[in-house]
Chains A and B, each alone.
Chain A
Amino acid sequence: DTGVSQDPRHKITKRGQNVTFRCDPISEHNRLYWYRQTLGQGPEFLTYFQNEAQLEKSRLLSDRFSAERPKGSFSTLEIQRTEQGDSAMYLCASSPPGLAENIQYFGAGTRLSVL
């Protein structure tokens, strides 16, 4: 499977715990994005990497959220001290360099439930 891979698919945690999600983009895609999607809404942008550099963060990304892409390949998204409002689907997407960057390819997402 050469698509965007996300792990885990589901995560249930208690309020106040830390969680970490992983995303493996499509090979050769240098651009990586994290989105959050809640019920009845479209995905909302969280953060953007070009290679290993985090170039942009949304105001949706509070101080409890941190993302990394240490070697320009896979990425992790960590949420510290989770709150019930963090419950959502977290989607990762990647796009290639050049003109084809207009199209972002999404993974299946990690569904987070904070109890």
Chain B
Amino acid sequence: DQQVKQNSPSLSVQEGRISILNCDYTNSMFDYFLWYKKYPAEGPTFLISISSIKDKNEDGRFTVFLNKSAKHLSLHIVPSQPGDSAVYFCAASDLKDTGRRALTFGSGTRLQVQP
């Protein structure tokens, strides 16, 4: 039972254009959402996050949008650059009884930015 889904395994965009990566979730207990970027042979690197009390968070070229009613979030990259080519993971967080902030990851979307 996948609680976090990234339905697009891959995405290709031209340099300078917008990249939009999508993520859907099913668990209403998730209250914090994150995007990680992963280059080959490296661990996931935190990119941007959003609390469930907000619907938008922006950091430079990166903006995350959250639609709670649709249980959907998206990451916009504008303008896209070749260095953005990587696998992007969506993660959703909820608080467990143990005090652990649990992260549930999607399966990732491979973004290729063409020069």
Q: Which residues of A contact B (CB under 8 A)?
A: 4, 6, 31, 33, 40-45, 48, 50, 55-56, 91, 93, 95, 101-109
Q: Given A56-B96, A102-B49, does the pair A108, B107 have CB atoms closer than 8 Å?
A: no
The 3 closest A-B pairs by CB, nearest first: A42-B105, A106-B43, A55-B98
Chain A, residue nearest B102 (CB): A45
Say which residue of A40, A56, A104 sits within 8 Å of B103 (CB atoms). Answer: A104
User: A90 vs B63: C-alpha distance in the bound complex, in angstroms?
Assistant: 30
Q: Does B75 lie at the interface of the complex (its beta carbon under 8 Å from any beta carbon of A)?
A: no
With A42-B105, A42-B107, A43-B105 already in contact, the answer to whether A106 and B100 are too (CB < 8 A) is no
A47 → chain B, closest Cβ, in Å?
10
CA distance A52 to B42 in the complex (A): 27
Cross-chain contact A42 with B89 (CB below 8 angstroms): yes
Q: Are B100 and A56 in contact (CB under 8 A)?
A: yes
Check if B29 is an interface residue, CB within 8 A of chain A. no
- The distance in angstroms between the C-alpha atoms of A106 and B37, with both chains bound, is 11
Interface status of B65 (Cβ within 8 A of chain A): no
25 contacts between A and B (CB under 8 A): A6-B43, A31-B101, A40-B9, A40-B108, A41-B105, A42-B105, A42-B106, A42-B107, A42-B108, A43-B89, A43-B105, A45-B102, A48-B100, A50-B98, A56-B98, A56-B100, A95-B101, A102-B49, A102-B101, A103-B49, A106-B36, A106-B45, A107-B43, A108-B42, A108-B43
